[in-house]
Structure 1
Amino acid sequence: MKRHIPNFITLMNVFCGCVAVVFAVLNQLELAASFMFLGIIFDFFDGLAARILDVKSDLGLQLDSLADVITSGLVPGVVMFQLLNMSEMGGWNAGSSIFWAKNLDISPLPFLGFLITMASAYRLAKFNLDEGQQSSFVGLPTPANALLIVSLPLILLHHNNDFLNSIVLNQWFLLAMTILSCYLLNSKIELFALKFNNWSFKDNALRYIFIIVSLVLLITMRFLAVPLIILFYILSSLLVPNTKK
């Protein structure tokens, strides 16, 4: 019976991802972000449960990646689709209904947001074939990338700054973020994983420092902190030798 527990947790990730997709399509991006974040939490705990119960399986590995394609791949793709559409429509429109119900003349530009979904699926397929990514990752993990993309509408909604809005809703900025996202997902950059083999500060100094800095940034800067945290994650991984990760 216990071998099914991690898979059930993973399926809860699938459910949260599906709900997040629905809200993202309806352009309710804050609710989409909430369910996506909940799905990422389930994504963390399914692996933890598998290790604690000692019930790791190939089925669980495949199911986990399939869940991530939805929660951390499709959701940010739809969110970027909506942001690119907003940039063409001329403004922040968080409370609107499905935009194409009113306007069937869809520009090709917003569909470029699904490059993120494609890059996420490709990254997850490579991850399943790579047995070396245990204590570190090669390329930005899909949950981290999803948080980066979904933080953009949250910045619009909660910071409500004209200067920030003009940047986030700039088409060239959004296209650059899409391209950067696809590159980071499938880059050769080695990034440390937040997996603790023990609680020693000496062995996990980088992880503890990252968590503390991230909490401080979130408390002081709220959603604006998310891109900075991702940047700090990448830079700290590059600056610390592999032997210390």
Structure 2
Amino acid sequence: MNIKKHIPNLITLLNLFSGCIALIFAFKSDFAMAFYFVSLGIFLDFFDGFFARLFKVSSPLGLQLDSLADMVTSGVVPGLVMFQMMSSNTSTEGIMQFFPFLGFIIALGSCYRLANFNIDTRQTDSFIGLPTPANALFILSLPLVLQFSESLFVLELLTNQWFLLIITLLSAYMLNAEIPLFSLKIKKFSFRQNALQVIFLILSVLLLIFFRYLGIPLLILLYVLLSVANNKVLQK
């Protein structure tokens, strides 16, 4: 029995398990624990493909499992978190009681992206559109920014239902936008081949140290800006 071929799929299933636990905490509005378990799932998602390539056991089954696990961890969970944020700032009377359900547009956008990713041959070494894990971290950081921020401006924005709707729509758009973004996955241990990823990692650590939870949406913005700058360099 070849145990190696099952290791990547086991890691993927652990990603799914982490997403399921995050869902429970999100239902309870325990956004910190939901964030931690989604982060754990994304960490596992980072390594399942790496070990599949390392052990040379990549398979169509692994590809499908990866997308299904991501749909929960990086699709349904952020949709539910946005629903919860909208629910706490929306009237429970009349048609507005249905407003928070628009938060699940994030889950719909994630589902479309993941399905398209599996058939898009252009995304083997990079991404087109914001990856679902990056989008999930962005969305799940918002209630934590709201909880720990002392800025009245930030508090007013993140408790405004219309601003949350704009974020939701922008999130779904960025997931499927025709914008090339560099891959965060390291295929070979070579600084020269992963210089952009290393630079991004260092800057991300600095943002998290100085801005804590606010650093998370900032680093996602940094990721997009670095990708756009890298695209300009490659075009020259």
Q: What TM-score do you get using the length of structure 1 for normalisation? A: 0.89
Partner SS state of residue 127, structure 2: strand
Tell me the equivalent position of 1:205.
Answer: 195
Tell me the equivalent position of 2:231.
Answer: 241
In the aligned structure 2, how far is the partner of 1:106 from the partner of 1:35?
31
Among candidates 41, 48, 53, match of residue 50 of structure 2:
48
Among candidates 137, 150, 154, match of residue 144 of structure 2:
154
Residue 220 of structure 2 corresponds to residue 230 of structure 1: yes
Alpha-carbon contact 2:90-2:161 (below 8 Å) kept: yes
Opposite residue 194 of structure 2, the aligned amino acid is: N
Q: Shift of residue 205 of structure 1?
A: 2.7
Written as runs of structure 1 = structure 2, the 5 A alignment for 1:108-147 is: 108-147=98-137
Tell me the equivalent position of 2:72.
Answer: 70
CA deviations on 1:180-211 (whole Å, 9 max, x unpaired) are: 00000000000000233444444333222211
Structure 1: unaligned runs, 5 residues or longer: 90-99
Residue 165 of structure 2 corresponds to residue 182 of structure 1: no
Opposite residue 49 of structure 1, the aligned amino acid is: F
Q: Shift of residue 147 of structure 1?
A: 0.3
Q: Shift of residue 158 of structure 1?
A: 2.4
Residue 153 of structure 2 corresponds to residue 163 of structure 1: yes
CA separation of 1:13/1:198 partners in 2, compared to 1, >3 Å: closer, same or farther?
closer
In the aligned structure 2, how far is the partner of 1:225 from the partner of 1:69?
25
Partner SS state of residue 203, structure 1: coil
Q: What TM-score do you get using the length of structure 2 for normalisation? A: 0.92
Alpha-carbon contact 2:90-2:96 (below 8 Å) kept: no
Q: Shift of residue 162 of structure 1?
A: 3.0
Opposite residue 62 of structure 2, the aligned amino acid is: G
Q: Shift of residue 179 of structure 1?
A: 0.5
CA deviations on 1:16-67 (whole Å, 9 max, x unpaired) are: 1111111111111111111111111111111111111111000000000000
Structure 2: unaligned runs, 5 residues or longer: none
Higher share of residues assigned helix: 2
Partner SS state of residue 89, structure 2: helix
Name the count of aligned residue pairs.
232
Alpha-carbon contact 2:9-2:65 (below 8 Å) kept: yes
Tell me the equivalent position of 2:6.
Answer: 4
Q: Shift of residue 242 of structure 1?
A: 6.7
CA root-mean-square deviation: 2.0
Q: Shift of residue 244 of structure 1?
A: 4.6
Opposite residue 129 of structure 1, the aligned amino acid is: I
Question: Sequence identity of aligned pairs in percent?
Answer: 52
In the aligned structure 2, how far is the partner of 1:203 from the partner of 1:5?
26
